[in-house]
Amino acid sequence: MFANTPVYYPSIEHAKENNELELWRESYDIKQSHVQAEAPEQLGGMNLG
């Protein structure tokens, strides 16, 4: 994974139809890593562990 910003915005169906599934997956992984990194901030810094 080289990018830090998601680069693929169309749906997974579009990616499959256009043989761009690898790019979609990389972008999806980037999006998920951002969601996980932002989750504690969205909870107001609460320690739920």
The domain locations on the chain are 12-42
pLDDT tens for 10-35 read 999 999 999 999 999 999 998 888 77
Say whether pTM exceeds 0.75: no
Rounded to a whole number of angstroms, the CA Rg of the chain reads 14
What pLDDT sits at residue 44?
A: 60
What pLDDT sits at residue 2?
A: 58
Retrieve residue 26's tokens.
Answer: 């990389």
Coil/strand/helix, residue 29: helix
DSSP string, 2-47: --SS----S-HHHHHHTT-HHHHHHHHHHHHHHHHHHHHHHTTT--
Confidence band (pLDDT; 50, 70, 90) for 41?
low
